[in-house]
């Protein structure tokens, strides 16, 4: 039996994030698909040159693949020279967040402005995440009025440390509690709660306003 180490899991994570096959990663890194599969499945960490090629193929950094800076907040370095702020069209924003992953929901909670991380997926054009029934988020996102939903913000960003750039997407729309008769359909999205536990309530955010920005160098 083989056991994947942290390095292998990071390769798998970034490959899945980019929706790439083993062959596509291998072609980008100029190596065989079998070797990429081996690295994902085994404990060994290859030489620095191989790690560098994989990092470039997976659009990340060597430090990230090796697990460095895990407790360091992103973006501590200086801005790129002559940074350019680009406004993103809604279609491009949706394309960027389409793979799913971790985003943040923002709303006025019972104790004031609240921002929480959630795992999310896109399903039928809406953002879907899960929370606990009867929990604080469930209660904070209910108006108590039939057919009236609370408007919230949902944000996703990606920071490219190597290129000193990145993007941020903000979606605003009503947070709809998915009723029991629709759960089977929405669960097809395959979203799982990052925090685990009994989080069987699905929340669906229908985008009413989509904005985004990208920062890059000249």
Burial classification of residue 92, based on how many CB atoms lie within 10 Å of its CB (0-12 exposed, 13-18 middle, 19 or more buried):
middle
> In the beta sheet, which residues pair with residue 158?
167
Q: Note the pLDDT of residue 13.
A: 87
Does 6-65 carry CATH code 1.10.260.40? yes
Backbone angles phi, psi at 151, to 5 degrees: -80, 130
Could you tell me the pTM of the whole model? 0.69
Q: Note the pLDDT of residue 1.
A: 39
d(CA 162, CA 62): 9
Q: Note the pLDDT of residue 80.
A: 65
pLDDT, block means (10 residues), the chain with 218 residues:
71 90 96 94 88 92 77 61 88 94 94 94 94 92 87 91 80 94 90 84 95 84
Q: Note the pLDDT of residue 2.
A: 47
d(CA 126, CA 148): 17
d(CA 87, CA 84): 10
Q: Note the pLDDT of residue 84.
A: 86
Q: Classify domain 84-216 by CATH architecture.
A: Roll (2.30)
Q: Where in the chain is the domain with CATH 2.30.110.10?
A: 84-216
CB 65 within 8 A of CB 162: no
Q: Where in the chain is the domain with CATH 1.10.260.40?
A: 6-65
Type and span of the H or E element at 184: helix 180-186
């Amino acid at each position: 039996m083989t056991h994947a180490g942290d390095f292998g899991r990071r390769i798998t994570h970034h490959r899945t994030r980019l929706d790439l096959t083993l062959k596509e990663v291998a072609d980008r890194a100029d190596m065989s698909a079998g070797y990429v599969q081996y690295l994902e499945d085994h404990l060994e960490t290859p030489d620095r040159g191989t790690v560098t090629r994989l990092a470039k193929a997976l659009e990340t950094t060597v430090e990230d693949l090796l697990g460095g800076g895990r407790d360091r907040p992103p973006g501590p370095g200086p801005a790129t020279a002559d940074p350019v702020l680009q406004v993103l069209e809604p279609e491009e924003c949706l394309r960027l967040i389409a793979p799913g992953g971790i985003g943040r929901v923002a709303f006025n909670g019972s104790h004031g402005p609240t921002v929480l991380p959630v795992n999310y997926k896109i399903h039928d054009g809406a953002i879907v995440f899960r929370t606990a029934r009867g929990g604080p988020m469930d209660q904070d996102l209910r108006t108590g009025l039939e057919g009236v939903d609370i408007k919230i913000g949902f944000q996703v960003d990606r920071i490219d440390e190597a290129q000193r750039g990145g993007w941020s997407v903000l979606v605003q729309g009503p947070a709809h509690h998915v009723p029991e008769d629709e759960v089977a359909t929405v669960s097809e999205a395959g979203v799982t709660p990052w925090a685990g536990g009994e989080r069987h309530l699905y929340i669906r955010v229908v985008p009413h306003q989509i904005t985004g920005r990208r920062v890059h160098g000249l």
